[in-house]
Structure 1
Amino acid sequence: MESAGDWCLIESDPGVFTQLIRKFGASGVQVEELWTIEDGIFETLRPVHGLIFLFKYLQHEEPAGPIVTDSRLDKIYFAKQVINNACATQAVISLLLNCDHPDVDLGPELSSLKEFSMSFDAKMRGLTLSNSQTIRSAHNSMAQQTIFEFDPKTASKDDEAYHFVGYMPIDGRLYELDGLREGPIDHGPIAPEQDWLDVVRPIIVRRINVYTEGEIHFNLMALVSDRKMIYERQLQDLMAESQMMGMETDEMENEIPRLRMLIEYEDVKMMKYKQEMARRRHNYLPFIITLLRILAEEKKLLPLLEKAKERANKKGPKKQKV
């Protein structure tokens, strides 16, 4: 794999991923974080187009199913990850480019990328993706503000690496899209009457159980249709039904305010995402320098420094993404 180059690390956060998708030029979808994978968690999020799973990377881990090498690769968009730190973008793009749903609009950049590279092999697709200026710029725009630069070569072999993969149904089968593999991992068929989320749930649970007891560094996010768009569509249908009937039922009187409240909530949530991103990108260095100067003048800096060293030593190895 190539050097990290100018691809930054991306935080596993639904707001970051949602804004990343917008930066790609895609619309009609957003990312929601899942705090549990218990039955019923997906009911308020449907339709769910795919899942993004973050886990601690284990070298030489065997795939949980056969790797696809046959003619299905002509229809499944799978790109080999050829550059470090790109796994977050690779995971979400893999889901988007394999999503066939009327809510999802890829936009001009991703549509052109798919059309141009669909006939390529997995490695050439990965090279095409990593050389897209639009995608790389969108990816790097999600970076947190870096005050000091550290030499990446100082990372030790004990550093923990984390990795993103995607799960989604394609043509009646469940696939795992992991750019570090040679192809998609086939997790088997999905019966016509079966919900694909019921199929993927035990697979993710088994994967988590592979790790030692006490390991909590996992994150699961869902790629879903734009919630505001869904609520506005439901509200429009309800208002049209009310006009046709010439009256509002008790159910309509309750449902219309609820949908308006949910639409307002989505607006507030997206505004919060933008504010959080602005804080991530803000340069806090002048404030930090002033604070350190005041602490030094009040003879508080050295005691705080010693306490910080003690806490840092207790945290253990650093975490990285691959």
Structure 2
Amino acid sequence: MPGPYRKHFLPLESNPEVFNELLHRLGASPKLTFQDVFTLDEPEFLPRPALAVILVLPTTKTYEARKTALESSRPDYNGSGDGELVVWFRQTINNACGLYALLHALSNGSASKFIESGSILARLLQTCIPCGPDQRSQALENSLELEEAHAALAAKGDSLVPDNAEDDVDFHYICFVRSNVDGHLYELDGDCKGPIDTGIALSAEEDVLSQQALGLIRGYVEQEEESIGFNIMALVRTAGVS
């Protein structure tokens, strides 16, 4: 469940330009880029193949109640090491759910193959992967390079940011990735007790915007009385970059 937060960041805008600059600052190859997903109902207009999907959703009472009910019966996750089905980070930095979603997108699936050697992210993963969730959280909190990169991008975009990093915001980021180990679609949210296996097994030909995945994402939107405040970005191979 959320918190306890030991550190506070200003939030990121759910804007592909902001996320793209941050992912490249952290050490993702220029071969990766985030793109907006404008429709869930017209497959021909989806950015493909999608290596990861970030869903930005309003933190309404409906969402919070459903999340509390689901999490109440789940055990705390304590996975670590190369045998993990997915790489998951527990969120202990307030208002940094966009950063955690980006880290989840880059650390899993085929996107993880495009992290440049010696980069900020490569060094963080080298430190974090052998560790359990608590040590991973501490490593992220202690990374001045990560904090500086995030701060530079939190000041960009068109949205107003809170004056105080400790102020709460009314939206949340979650990430969907394909496991390199079992091929399942996982929901990764640092404010949950651990990674969530959606039970959707993706074939080698399916990406994270497959029909089953789209159905799952639609479910989040349809559970709200008004389908506003949602935004979706897909992590894809950059067109024209070899």
The TM-score bracket by the shorter chain reads 0.7 to 0.9
Deviation at 1:37, TM superposition (A): 1.1
Distance in 1 (alpha carbons) for counterparts of 2:11 and 2:150: 9
Distance in 2 (alpha carbons) for counterparts of 1:93 and 1:148: 21
Q: Which of 211, 220, 237 does residue 224 from structure 2 map onto? A: 211
| Structure 1 residue aligned with 2:34 | 31
Query: 1:170-319 residue pairs with structure 2 within 5 A?
Result: 170=179, 171-192=182-203, 195-196=206-207, 197-212=210-225, 214-229=226-241, 233=242
Deviation at 1:116, TM superposition (A): 1.1
Distance in 1 (alpha carbons) for counterparts of 2:161 and 2:18: 22
Distance in 1 (alpha carbons) for counterparts of 2:152 and 2:106: 19
How many percent identity over aligned positions?
A: 25
Matched, 1:83 2:86: no
Q: Is the CA contact (8 Å cut-off) linking 1:51 and 1:166 kept in structure 2?
A: yes
- Opposite residue 14 of structure 1, the aligned amino acid is P
Q: Is the CA contact (8 Å cut-off) linking 1:68 and 1:186 kept in structure 2?
A: no
Query: 1:2-21 residue pairs with structure 2 within 5 A?
Result: 2=5, 4-5=7-8, 7-21=9-23
Q: Is the CA contact (8 Å cut-off) linking 1:20 and 1:142 kept in structure 2?
A: yes
Matched, 1:117 2:128: yes
Distance in 2 (alpha carbons) for counterparts of 1:219 and 1:148: 17
Distance in 2 (alpha carbons) for counterparts of 1:151 and 1:2: 15
Matched, 1:59 2:72: no
Q: Which of 43, 48, 51 does residue 49 from structure 1 map onto? A: 51
| Structure 2 residue aligned with 1:300 | none
Q: Is the CA contact (8 Å cut-off) linking 2:6 and 2:93 kept in structure 1?
A: yes
Q: Is the CA contact (8 Å cut-off) linking 2:7 and 2:141 kept in structure 1?
A: no
Q: Which of 83, 93, 104 does residue 94 from structure 1 map onto? A: 104
Cα 1:39–1:120 change in 2 (3 A) is same
Distance in 1 (alpha carbons) for counterparts of 2:117 and 2:240: 19
- For the residue of structure 1 that corresponds to 2:36, the secondary structure is strand
Deviation at 1:125, TM superposition (A): 1.1
TM-score (structure 1 length as normaliser): 0.61
Deviation at 1:53, TM superposition (A): 0.4
Deviation at 1:101, TM superposition (A): 5.0
| Structure 2 residue aligned with 1:267 | none
Q: Is the CA contact (8 Å cut-off) linking 1:4 and 1:85 kept in structure 2?
A: no
| Structure 2 residue aligned with 1:104 | 114
Distance in 2 (alpha carbons) for counterparts of 1:89 and 1:68: 22
- For the residue of structure 1 that corresponds to 2:214, the secondary structure is helix
What do residues 40-82 of structure 1 show as CA deviations (whole Å, max 9, x unaligned)? Answer: 1465x32211000000123342449977848687422111000
Cα 1:147–1:89 change in 2 (3 A) is closer
- Structure 2 gaps, min length 5: none
- What RMSD, in angstroms, separates the aligned Cα atoms of the two structures? 3.1
Deviation at 1:134, TM superposition (A): 1.3
Q: Which of 164, 171, 176 does residue 167 from structure 1 map onto? A: 176
Q: Is the CA contact (8 Å cut-off) linking 1:67 and 1:184 kept in structure 2?
A: no
| Structure 2 residue aligned with 1:249 | none
- Structure 1 gaps, min length 5: 234-322
Cα 1:41–1:132 change in 2 (3 A) is farther
Deviation at 1:113, TM superposition (A): 1.1
| Structure 2 residue aligned with 1:256 | none
Distance in 2 (alpha carbons) for counterparts of 1:128 and 1:18: 23
Distance in 2 (alpha carbons) for counterparts of 1:190 and 1:148: 38
TM-score (structure 2 length as normaliser): 0.79
Cα 1:148–1:17 change in 2 (3 A) is closer
Instruction: Report how many residues are paired.
Output: 223
Query: 1:139-154 residue pairs with structure 2 within 5 A?
Result: 139-144=150-155, 150=163
Distance in 1 (alpha carbons) for counterparts of 2:43 and 2:227: 25
Distance in 2 (alpha carbons) for counterparts of 1:224 and 1:110: 18
